């Protein structure tokens, strides 16, 4: 013979579990602005998968370029999907602003000197363009 | 008399380069936009001298400080600098600005757009190739002013606090990056030259990495500029919702659903906000409309409807 209190306890517990499970699976939720911007549903799923891979690629590439794991993760997180896609697999070749100009041979040195004076470039701090 | 001059490859190259003249500068100087001031210099833009290879962090710090964000160039180094490349990527400049609380956006790739932003009081961070494409020297600087009478651009650049560069030279060096320039703005402001599609992308990216209250301010101003844009209107509602303001959110979703009666997302979000406000009847009507519209938001509408049913049951005696 089951104790009536025990029976009540079991019943309420089961009801609670079912109810909690139920509400969790059908929780009403806002559609995010980002989802709205990415149009069709099928396209969206495909884009989401691609974006996840691209983000992982970018993070790995940043780490290869000397960025710490945590910082690489935070840097990728701040990019939009489109931004991450635009740099994935291209970090080697994209312009990186940093003033570096390496191993300029004499011909190029002279050429750049001339183009500086012509006002086409501004490599050397001492040159003045003849446009002045 | 014919000269015995022979065409060396170097000279040919120079001549080829010369023929590509600074067309935008010429056009601007000969017939400037009537609306543009003749001279602008944003003298309050702070100057931060760069360390070696670190023009990216220094330029970004100047730009963010001018927009009212107290950031340090040193703190930006781990956020944008790529040690192996000895430089910083454009995308990371945009992303890092958002990490520090600003809306960041590229400007249209034209000289007149740059001048328009300067005239509106927004310094512009530009990427220049100071050298030639064969031996690039990529450099970030901050444009802070111009002088149409003298034909100059004024920059905070590298170690030079006030670099005055002929506009034509600037056009050559800037053009090699595809005229890439960005501005950063505090919440509630948009660039003067913003176009709708680019603004939507920038504000949605800003929403993702900012507190809802900040993004809400920017959405509010964007909706005023482009009142027919569904994404912006929903963004205004979504950020109000995320900030806990259900009533304002419901109002924006209502407006979105009236302007865009075919948007399931607008009706679904309206239903969610109304449900949480306890207006179950209206919530049900909106959710059913979202379901009827179907499309990508069918699943969301079904879930919302189920939640409304639960709320209705618990309300009945």
Q: Using one digit for the tens of pLDDT, what is the confidence trace for B265-301?
A: 999 999 999 999 999 999 999 999 999 998 888 999 9
Instruction: Indicate the pLDDT class of residue B91, thresholds 50, 70 and 90.
Output: very high
pLDDT number for residue A23: 44
Percent of chain B having pLDDT more than 70?
A: 93
pLDDT of amino acid A101: 61
**Smallest Cα distance from B250 to chain A, Å:** 11
Cβ-Cβ contacts under 8 Å, B80 against chain A: 75
**Top-confidence residue, A15 or B166:** B166
Which of B20-34, B62-76, B182-196 is least confident?
B20-34
Q: Quote the minimal CA–CA distance from B83 to chain A in Å.
A: 5
Higher pLDDT, A47 or A86: A86
Closest residue to A33, CB basis, from B132, B231, B304? B231
User: DSSP string spanning A79-112?
Assistant: S-HHHHHHHTTTTTTS-EES-------HHHHHHH
- Long-range (24+ apart) CB contacts under 8 A made by B252-260 are B256/B230, B257/B286, B257/B289, B259/B227, B259/B228, B259/B230, B259/B233, B260/B230, B260/B233
Q: Is pLDDT of A21 > 50?
A: no
Binding-face residues of B in 19-48 toward A, CB within 8 A? none
Q: List beta partners, residue B81.
A: B88
The predicted-structure confidence for B118-163, as pLDDT tens digits, reads as follows 999 999 999 999 988 888 899 999 999 999 999 999 999 999 999 9
Chain A residues with CB-CB distance to B26 below 8 A? none
Indicate the range of A29-33, B16-20, B197-201, B284-288 predicted with least confidence. Answer: B16-20
Measure A10 CA to nearest chain B CA, in Å: 22
CATH of B21-185, picked from 3.40.50.1820, 3.90.1150.10, 3.40.50.10860, 3.90.70.10, is 3.90.70.10
CA B112 to chain centre: 17
Q: Could you say which DSSP state residue B82 is in?
A: E
Looking at residue B11, its pLDDT comes to: 56
At residue A118, the pLDDT reads: 86
| A31/B297 CB distance under 8 A | yes
B165 near A CB under 8 A: yes
* CB within 8 Å: A86 and B91: yes
The pLDDT of residue A70 is above 80: yes
- Chain A residues near residue B234 by CB distance under 8 angstroms: 31, 33, 36
Q: Do A27 and B208 touch (CB under 8 A)?
A: no
Across the range A39-48, mean pLDDT stands at 64
Average pLDDT over residues A119-125: 87
In this model, does residue B69 exceed pLDDT 80? yes
Chain B residues touching A62 at Cβ < 8 A: 82
Q: Which two tokens stand for residue B87?
A: 């430089």
A111-121: buried (b, 16+ CB within 10 Å) or exposed (e) per residue? bbebbbebbbb
Contact B86/A at CB under 8 A: yes
Tell me the mean pLDDT in the region A122-128: 83
Q: Name the packing angle between helices B55-66 and B90-99 (round to 10°).
A: 40
- The pLDDT score that the predictor gives to residue A26 is 62
pLDDT at residue B172 in the model: 94
Contact B96 A41 (CB under 8 A): no
Cβ under 8 Å to A: B residues 97-116 = 98-99
**What's the CA gap between B143 and B40, in Å, rounded?**
11
In terms of pLDDT, which residue wins out, B58 or A39? Answer: B58
For the ranges A18-32, A78-92, B97-111, B188-202, the lowest mean pLDDT is seen at A18-32
Region B184-208: mean pLDDT is: 96
The pLDDT of B72-99, averaged and rounded, is 95
Helix (H, G, I), strand (E, B) or coil at B13: helix
Average pLDDT over residues A76-92: 89
- The whole-number average pLDDT for the span B32-41 is 86
For residues B242-254, give the mean pLDDT. Answer: 97
Architecture category of domain B216-315 in CATH: Alpha Horseshoe (1.25)
B84 at interface of A, judged by CB pairs closer than 8 A: yes
Residue A103 has a pLDDT of: 52
**ipTM of the complex model:** 0.78
What is the per-residue pLDDT for B10? 59
Strands (E) in chain B, as ranges, are 39-41, 81-82, 87-89, 103-106, 124-129, 138-147, 152-157, 160-166, 181-185
- For chain B, give the mean pLDDT: 92
Does B216 contact A at CB distance below 8 Å?
no
Among chain A residues, the shortest Cα distance to B163 is held by A125
| pLDDT of the residue at A123 | 86
pLDDT of B53 > 70? The answer is yes
Please determine, for residue B68, whether its predicted confidence score (pLDDT) is greater than 70: yes
Model confidence at B3: pLDDT above 50: no
pLDDT at A3 over 60: yes
d(CA B246, CA B253): 10
Higher-scoring residue by pLDDT: A54, A105: A54
Identity of the residue in A27, A37, A92 whose CB atom sits nearest the CB atom of B307: A27
């Amino acid at each position: 013979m089951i104790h009536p209190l025990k029976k009540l306890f079991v019943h309420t517990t089961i009801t609670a579990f079912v109810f909690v499970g139920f509400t969790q699976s059908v929780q009403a939720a806002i559609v995010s602005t980002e989802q709205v911007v990415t149009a069709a549903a099928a396209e969206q799923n495909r884009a989401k998968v691609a974006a996840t891979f691209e983000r992982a690629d970018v993070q790995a590439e940043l780490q290869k370029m000397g960025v710490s794991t945590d910082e690489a993760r935070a840097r990728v997180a701040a990019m939009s999907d489109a931004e991450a896609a635009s740099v994935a697999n291209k970090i080697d070749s994209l312009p990186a602003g940093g003033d570096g100009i390496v191993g300029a041979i004499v011909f190029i040195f002279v050429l750049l000197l001339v183009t500086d004076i012509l006002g086409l470039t501004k490599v050397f701090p001492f040159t003045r363009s003849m446009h002045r | 008399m014919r000269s015995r001059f022979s065409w060396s490859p170097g000279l040919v190259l120079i001549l080829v380069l010369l023929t590509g003249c600074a067309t935008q500068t010429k056009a601007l100087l000969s017939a400037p936009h009537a609306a543009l001031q003749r001279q602008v210099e944003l003298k309050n833009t702070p100057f931060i001298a760069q360390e070696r290879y670190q023009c990216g962090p220094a330029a970004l710090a100047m730009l963010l400080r001018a927009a009212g964000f107290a950031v340090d160039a040193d703190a930006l180094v781990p956020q944008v600098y790529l040690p192996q490349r000895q430089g910083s990527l454009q995308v990371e400049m945009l992303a890092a600005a958002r990490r520090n609380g600003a809306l960041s956006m590229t400007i249209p790739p034209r000289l007149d757009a740059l001048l328009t932003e300067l005239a509106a009081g927004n310094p512009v961070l530009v990427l220049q190739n100071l050298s030639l494409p064969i031996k690039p020297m990529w450099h970030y600087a901050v444009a802070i002013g111009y002088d149409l009478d003298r034909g100059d651009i004024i920059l905070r650049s590298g170690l030079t606090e006030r670099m005055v560069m002929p506009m034509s030279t600037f056009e050559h060096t800037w053009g090699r990056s595809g005229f890439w320039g960005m501005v950063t703005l505090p919440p509630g402001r948009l660039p003067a030259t913003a176009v709708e599609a680019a603004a939507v992308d920038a504000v949605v990216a800003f929403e993702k990495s900012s507190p809802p209250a900040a993004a809400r301010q920017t959405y509010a101003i964007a909706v005023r500029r482009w009142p027919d844009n569904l994404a912006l209107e929903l963004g205004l509602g979504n950020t109000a919702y995320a900030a806990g303001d259900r009533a304002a959110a419901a109002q924006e979703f209502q407006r979105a659903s009236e302007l865009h009666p075919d948007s399931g997302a607008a009706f679904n979000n309206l239903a969610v906000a109304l449900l949480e406000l306890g207006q179950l009847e209206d919530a049900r009507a909106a959710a059913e409309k979202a379901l009827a519209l179907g499309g990508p938001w069918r699943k969301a509408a079904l879930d919302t409807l189920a939640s409304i049913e639960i709320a209705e049951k618990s309300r009945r005696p």
